[in-house]
Chain A
């Protein structure tokens, strides 16, 4: 199975620490997305890459958050100086740019669950 993978699956950290998550998309997909999901809510868009270019960032993404996709393959999401409000599930998804306009099915990874103490 060559689906989207994320690492780590769980992360517990203390407030003020930095954390980094990794996402490996489906290999032939050139688009990669990061979402955040809190309990009882739908995923919220954070940012999106086409190949190595970061094309859109949500206003939710404060300056403590940074994402990279240096070679257009895997991506990392770093949170600096974590706060308790950052506790959430961080989901990565990938898609291809082919298909009819607007139909770019996003395939989600299992997520990284972050708990900030």
Chain B
């Protein structure tokens, strides 16, 4: 089955710097890759996602890149702010031809942005 590896497990940056979180996946048939942000005491919140027919997607300070050949995808946060501090999860799923393809999550990255 699918396996998603996420690195690093913790990341500390200065406010204004960029942060990059990387994930690799094992199932070459995976075709959907969402990223979630989880704040303390809250559920994961979808912040951006990418599908396999796209190599990059950007939403303001957040971007995601996908390299299907290498089977890895990355989250990029530019101009980080203290409110970006949270745990970030990547995930992957595949289309089973109409039936449910379940999300497989990475183990998370705790991002700390220091003022």
A, B from the same assembly: no
